[in-house]
Structure 1
Amino acid sequence: MPGLTTRPPIIRIANGTFYRQHPNSVTPASKTHQHSNPPLFSNLTFELPSHPAKPHNWAIVGPSLSGKSTFLQVLRGSHLCFPPTARSFPYLATDSVPHRLRNPAKAIKYVGFDDTTSGYGSVTTTAYLSARYESRREETDFSLLDFLTGNTEFNPSTGLEDEEKIDDALLARVVRDLRLEPLLQLPVAFLSNGQGRRARIARALLTSPEVLMLDEPFMGLDPPTVAGLSPLLKDLADKRQPRLVLSARPQDPLPDWITHLVYLRTDCQVGAMGDKETVLEGLKKYVRGVKKGGLADDDTLPVHALVEMGRVLTSNGIQGEGIGEDYIATSPGVTLVKEELKTELGEPLVEMNGCQVRYGDKIALGNWTEQRDGSEAKGLHWTVRRGERWGVFGPNGSGKTTIVSLLCSDHPQTYSLPIKLFGRSRLPEPGSGQIPLTFWDIQSRVGHSSPEIHQHVPRRLTIRQVIESAWADTFISRPKMDAAAKAQVDATLRWFEPELNPDFTRHDAALRNQETPASTLFWSEDHLFGGISFSAQRLLLFLRALVKHPDIIVLDEAYSGMDDALRDKCMLFLQYGEEKMYAPSADKKGDVIMDNPGKVTVKGLNDQQALIVISHVKEEVPDCVREWICLPEANTGKPARFGRLDGPLGKDRKRWAEIWSV
């Protein structure tokens, strides 16, 4: 339309450089305790138009540690800008914008899934992990409808202003498309991980901001929900109500309505920016150049992360191939599963014999009847034995997280349901002569990583304290560790320093090879959990679940937020510990896996451990998983389905389709 392109942009950045701290505040103090304050996105020029003649729907893409969340925060006004005048929000000062949205903090909404930054954590996060499973409702247990409409104040002094009221038509549309209707009267604390993500997206949409920034919005959502969410976002993008900016990992398929890309390097600098096709073509030429040997592989622009870049999320599913489909990259899914599967079954570690989890008249898990041994049996029947590797699948709200809460004994109904953990019940059994298991017994034998655990980790803990808490009763109590345990923690920190240490550089690594091992780990006590990136936080919780070698390892969406390179390194560590490592290929055809020539302190899974993995992404299921259970959608009355894989799941679409019955 004539004249529209002359309106000022919503966001304008002209040759700006950003810092987390003022650059003059970092003094040359002791080298061992000085945190780096590198420039972020140096000399960045970026505009988000308010009324473009053609669509401008941006996606910010980059591997782990590239600063995707930081880039979104820079766009909405966070972090220091030099020069200060380089960043402005001219459109927000015009009469076209309601008065309540003149402030960038209100006009530009950010929705992430680290509750410390999402802005909704105070409502959606409970005081303690098991509170979400209790039947008694507290006064602070606001319903989902209250949350969506902003009715979460005690004794509000005034009612909502007319311009702040939620449009009923928009509420109905958002609730329908995000499949939230059956949940409106539930307390927010009762929602599953995937349901909570949908709720936060819905709440942001209902505030009608000028710009909505969604940090990896499809992470942790089941395929049906993604299929409903993407068209809703497209409709909003087409209407510019609001304008959308997404972030994604390189391996994530991008919605077909995305028109422009920013690809970030691992040093928090822009690698490429512009319209989508131009950026993808440039990255494809780079991948081909590295493959043929004409270009050097830039450490800040790893080719491995680009292999799957370029796939498209359409209304008919995921289409297209990655820009590096002809770049041969060896991954754990191709080379690691060579051992013969065991035929002897170990002793049961988890026994669920007809579990039904009820909240009043609502059955949250086990709402079905199935044939077992010629007779009808109600509820979930499931046994996990030593040495087994299980995948647990199903749509959001089907009960996956509830299962985890039962086997971790976080759920109060664990006491009353027919469940045995490690061959014992939670309550005394007459005549058995067994002492009931305590909560602390169970916690000490189960390693658990999940979004729920992530919400409850104290942000003030150091990196080392988070890992060492695997030997403690709680996150903040003193761990009971011997010399061997401390050696395992040290070895794990060294193995993952490039991903955990925000100050890590290749130059520092070369210097530290000349130092004693103890002197190289000071960073793990300097950096706090709340100060590292989201992917590093997820990595830390993954390592915490493994490092003690517990009887049961539970990985619930443990790889979400990681790029494929970090995910593969974690899977390699899960199966082999320090015994195997990646090494660059001499013929430029990708990384290979080799034996670690150094000392091995931490080993991988053994046949005395059981593994339980929950994921909505087949590539995030370790190759060793063979047994699977798929839970039905809530309230359908259909029974859970069980099966056994004949090979790795990650690279096989047919096996994945069999599990989901599609």
Structure 2
Amino acid sequence: MARPPNNSLIKITRGSFYRHHPSSTHLAHPNPALFTELKLRILPNQRRRTPKITCVIGPSLSGKTTFLKVLRGDLICVPPQARKYPALSSSGLDPRRAIRYVGFDDSANGLGPPAVTTSAYLSARYESRREITDFSLRDYLLGNTELNPSDDHHQLVPGKQDLTLNSVAEALKLDGLLDLPVAFLSNGQGRRARIARALLTDPKLLLLDEPFMGLDPPTVLELNRLLNRLATAESSQKFMLTARPQDPIPWWVTNLVYLTTDCQVAFRGRKYAVLRKLKNYAEGVMAGRLTETAQLPLHTLSQFGRDLTEHGIEGKGLLEGLVGVHRVRPHHLVKWESKPESTGEPLVEMDGCRVKYGDKVVLGNWTEERNGKEVDGLTWTVRRGERWGVFGPNGSGKTTIVSLLCSDHPQTYSLPIKLFGRSRLPEPGSAELPLTFWDIQARIGHSSPEIHQHMPRSLTVRRVLETAWADTFRSKPALDDAAKKQVDATLAWFEAELHPGFTAAAGRPAPSSSVDWATGYQFGELSFSAQRVLLFLRAIIKHPDIVVLDEAFSGMDEKVRDKCMNWLQFGELSGDDGAAVAVKAVVKGLSEQQALICISHVKEEVPDCVREWLCLPEANTGERPRFGRLGWPLKTDSRLWGEIWGMAPARAVSEDGKR
């Protein structure tokens, strides 16, 4: 049966794509062709019993987000007639609403407000004075975010959509937050809100850019089940999502597109066919039959191929169990030595902290007995030399803890908190001056989604690093010669990860002798992964007393993540292969005088040096936080990771694939 005319969504036939027109002659940066000769069909289901769900996978700098931008029509297509975008005129649908994109790389998500926590400065989200534009989550999800909406303003149909709103909000654990201003949401809650908003607009094609990033393990499972139900429902709605190679693939995904590091398609087709081709490639390289290419490095495939099922992460990575697999895993576990509990100087002292807005408690909604007295809220001490992992569900208060540590939260002044042995307010009988905001900022290095959101996109790559020595993002940094050398050394070592125009032959690239490129590119021109790497380096380059890494490694592929972790622990003495190299160290790793606080929802993104852990309870349950101490790197123990989160371990998989 012939397809109905003018009803196809997207069809690309041998199109090549450019960020700028290829005939432009006055461009400051290279303008290479992306996804050359691309052939792709995304069409409505024609009585298909099994829907076609595609996952686009690729390492850092492979162009996953760019691939979705191709589908959105954001890039220039050559020849223009190679792309039909989208042919929906006969159905009466607005093409701009037919395709919805949900991502966390920038503010251009197409879902109304730029971001659910956008504000002029970090502490604005915690202030009690609210503005007329601080819409509730319910209004945000229903599209009621216009002060003077036009008659044709797109909103969900009242009444008819109530059940849909309630079901989506419940599935994404947003039902208890509907009346809160969106500015009060945590990072994970805000990301779930964007996904919910997109789902409720009922698009014909929903593009989800790493939808599970930043979500706690229980929420990942809930979202996975929800997307599976929507993907298999009898409707014309279609999905396409992206993932990193180390991310497990949802079991309901049917097709894969695997990208190379130069923004080209390596393999595409049915999921198991692509997995088989990549495994044959890996086996051929290890057996010497094939040559490994720089655009398709084997190390990116070590964890690729695991499944995200209804019960959790199951199965093995594509290369696990293969003979000689150690040859393609460049980052080895750091030798972990158990040390006695630290007795260093306290850097953070929380003696019963409870944060609430009106009647709603967002941190510390529990009571415990200490020294014969009942104490409300969080009691926690961080000392020099300690390496903490902080875990807990989205909305449990992890972001609030960071705001208290960095003194962004106004309630810091009224809570029993000491930083570096000093209070924020004058203490009775003490001649010592209270700690100022600038004192704290100078001694804490901080990387988080909030910093990512507020970092000016117009700053150059070098200037972003240099702001570690500045009072604000735009003020002039106070750098001495030693600081300038650290900036140069860091930029040289991470040129491959930060320089958009970097190219290298197969093998380990040598850093350039010049880092002039860092003044020619702006922060907003970098990929999401490169932006995360730069903000991570900014947090540690000054060697602050406390390093706070809040989801700092999300968005990075396995190799980039491990390189950053090596740099965190050892600095310039650690090479790309995890081994020491003979260079004079300009940048050193964490010292025993520093404390580390790492927040993560993925065990592989917890540095090997983490020894102590704190897990916050679900918000408003009244349960107490749990503390523990590790005897080995957390990423090596899935069972312990499940116990920390209160989750049963995923079912084991035997060698023959049977459960």
TM range, smaller chain:
over 0.9
Cα distance, 1:135 vs structure 2: 2.3
In structure 2, what is the Cα distance between the partners aligned to 1:190 and 1:92? 38
Cα distance, 1:207 vs structure 2: 1.1
Answer whether contact 2:353 2:377 (CA < 8 A) is retained: yes
Q: 1:329 to 1:280 in 2, by over 3 A?
A: same
The equivalent of 1:119 in structure 2 is 110
Q: 1:430 to 1:511 in 2, by over 3 A?
A: closer
Pick from 289, 294, 297 the counterpart of residue 289 of structure 2. 294
The equivalent of 1:588 in structure 2 is none
In structure 1, what is the Cα distance between the partners aligned to 2:506 and 2:485? 22
Instruction: Say whether residues 1:82 and 2:78 are aligned partners.
Output: yes
In structure 2, what is the Cα distance between the partners aligned to 1:288 and 1:508? 18
Instruction: Say whether residues 1:176 and 2:170 are aligned partners.
Output: yes
Instruction: Say whether residues 1:102 and 2:94 are aligned partners.
Output: yes
Cα distance, 1:509 vs structure 2: 12
Higher alpha-carbon deviation: 56-65 or 163-172: 163-172
Cα distance, 1:344 vs structure 2: 4.6
In structure 1, what is the Cα distance between the partners aligned to 2:407 and 2:357? 17
Q: 1:201 to 1:57 in 2, by over 3 A?
A: same
Cα distance, 1:8 vs structure 2: 5.1
Q: 1:317 to 1:340 in 2, by over 3 A?
A: closer
Q: Deviations over 1:75-99 (max 9, x none)?
A: 11111100001010364133xx3x2
Identity, in percent, stands at: 59
The equivalent of 1:304 in structure 2 is 299
Instruction: Say whether residues 1:236 and 2:236 are aligned partners.
Output: no
Cα distance, 1:140 vs structure 2: 1.6
The equivalent of 2:352 in structure 1 is 354
Answer whether contact 1:333 1:648 (CA < 8 A) is retained: no
Instruction: Tell me the secondary structure at the aligned position of residue 158 of structure 1.
Output: coil
Cα distance, 1:287 vs structure 2: 1.1
The equivalent of 2:31 in structure 1 is 37
Instruction: Tell me the secondary structure at the aligned position of residue 36 of structure 1.
Output: coil
Q: Deviations over 1:149-170 (max 9, x none)?
A: 1111113343756886672222
Answer whether contact 1:49 1:56 (CA < 8 A) is retained: no
Pick from 420, 423, 432 the counterpart of residue 422 of structure 1. 420
Q: Deviations over 1:18-39 (max 9, x none)?
A: 0111112145x9xxxx511111
Pick from 131, 135, 138 the counterpart of residue 138 of structure 1. 131
Instruction: Say whether residues 1:197 and 2:191 are aligned partners.
Output: yes
Instruction: Tell me the secondary structure at the aligned position of residue 282 of structure 1.
Output: helix
Instruction: Say whether residues 1:524 and 2:515 are aligned partners.
Output: no
In structure 2, what is the Cα distance between the partners aligned to 1:90 and 1:370? 59
Instruction: Tell me the secondary structure at the aligned position of residue 567 of structure 1.
Output: helix
Cα distance, 1:658 vs structure 2: 2.6
The equivalent of 1:628 in structure 2 is 613
In structure 1, what is the Cα distance between the partners aligned to 2:155 and 2:633? 56
In structure 2, what is the Cα distance between the partners aligned to 1:480 and 1:538? 23
2:98 partner letter: A
Cα distance, 1:332 vs structure 2: 8.8
1:109 partner letter: R
2:499 partner letter: N
Higher alpha-carbon deviation: 147-156 or 266-275: 147-156
Task: Work out the number of aligned pairs and report it.
Answer: 638
Answer whether contact 1:332 1:623 (CA < 8 A) is retained: no
Instruction: Tell me the secondary structure at the aligned position of residue 629 of structure 1.
Output: strand
Q: Deviations over 1:164-201 (max 9, x none)?
A: 66722221221111111110011000000000000000
Answer whether contact 2:294 2:505 (CA < 8 A) is retained: no
Cα distance, 1:405 vs structure 2: 0.4
Cα distance, 1:633 vs structure 2: 0.1
Q: Deviations over 1:97-155 (max 9, x none)?
A: 3x2x332x321111101232213453521221111112222212111011111111113
Answer whether contact 2:569 2:589 (CA < 8 A) is retained: yes
The equivalent of 2:494 in structure 1 is 496
* 1:142-181 correspondence runs (5 A): 142-158=135-151, 160=153, 167-181=161-175
In structure 1, what is the Cα distance between the partners aligned to 2:108 and 2:592? 40
Instruction: Tell me the secondary structure at the aligned position of residue 114 of structure 2.
Output: helix
Instruction: Tell me the secondary structure at the aligned position of residue 16 of structure 1.
Output: strand
2:129 partner letter: R
In structure 1, what is the Cα distance between the partners aligned to 2:338 and 2:510? 40
Instruction: Say whether residues 1:93 and 2:89 are aligned partners.
Output: yes
Answer whether contact 1:332 1:572 (CA < 8 A) is retained: no
Q: 1:392 to 1:344 in 2, by over 3 A?
A: closer
The equivalent of 1:223 in structure 2 is 217
2:470 partner letter: A
In structure 2, what is the Cα distance between the partners aligned to 1:474 and 1:533? 23
Higher alpha-carbon deviation: 597-606 or 290-299: 290-299
Q: 1:329 to 1:219 in 2, by over 3 A?
A: farther
Q: Deviations over 1:338-383 (max 9, x none)?
A: 4452555210000000000011111110000123234432110000
Cα distance, 1:392 vs structure 2: 0.3
In structure 2, what is the Cα distance between the partners aligned to 1:195 and 1:396? 6
Measured on the aligned residues, the alpha-carbon RMSD in Å equals: 2.1
The equivalent of 1:285 in structure 2 is 280
Instruction: Tell me the secondary structure at the aligned position of residue 582 of structure 1.
Output: coil
In structure 2, what is the Cα distance between the partners aligned to 1:283 and 1:401? 39
The equivalent of 1:656 in structure 2 is 641
Pick from 619, 627, 639 the counterpart of residue 642 of structure 1. 627
Instruction: Tell me the secondary structure at the aligned position of residue 46 of structure 1.
Output: strand
Q: 1:448 to 1:202 in 2, by over 3 A?
A: same
Answer whether contact 2:73 2:85 (CA < 8 A) is retained: no
The equivalent of 2:24 in structure 1 is 25
Question: Structure 2: which 5+ runs fail to align?
Answer: 648-659
In structure 2, what is the Cα distance between the partners aligned to 1:508 and 1:594? 19
The equivalent of 1:69 in structure 2 is 65
Q: Deviations over 1:214-269 (max 9, x none)?
A: 00000000111111111211122123452100000011111111000100000001
Answer whether contact 1:332 1:571 (CA < 8 A) is retained: no
Instruction: Tell me the secondary structure at the aligned position of residue 553 of structure 1.
Output: strand
Pick from 254, 257, 266 the counterpart of residue 271 of structure 1. 266
Cα distance, 1:447 vs structure 2: 0.3
In structure 2, what is the Cα distance between the partners aligned to 1:66 and 1:149? 35
Instruction: Tell me the secondary structure at the aligned position of residue 155 of structure 1.
Output: coil
Answer whether contact 1:331 1:568 (CA < 8 A) is retained: no
In structure 2, what is the Cα distance between the partners aligned to 1:58 and 1:568? 28
The equivalent of 1:206 in structure 2 is 200
- Return the structure number with greater helix share: 1
Instruction: Tell me the secondary structure at the aligned position of residue 215 of structure 2.
Output: coil
The equivalent of 2:13 in structure 1 is 14
Cα distance, 1:397 vs structure 2: 0.3
In structure 2, what is the Cα distance between the partners aligned to 1:635 and 1:126? 27
The equivalent of 1:452 in structure 2 is 450
Q: 1:80 to 1:69 in 2, by over 3 A?
A: same
1:127 partner letter: A
Cα distance, 1:10 vs structure 2: 1.3
Instruction: Say whether residues 1:324 and 2:319 are aligned partners.
Output: yes
Cα distance, 1:275 vs structure 2: 0.7
Answer whether contact 1:333 1:651 (CA < 8 A) is retained: no
Q: 1:473 to 1:628 in 2, by over 3 A?
A: same
Answer whether contact 1:387 1:607 (CA < 8 A) is retained: yes
The equivalent of 1:553 in structure 2 is 547
In structure 1, what is the Cα distance between the partners aligned to 2:99 and 2:61? 24
The equivalent of 1:587 in structure 2 is none
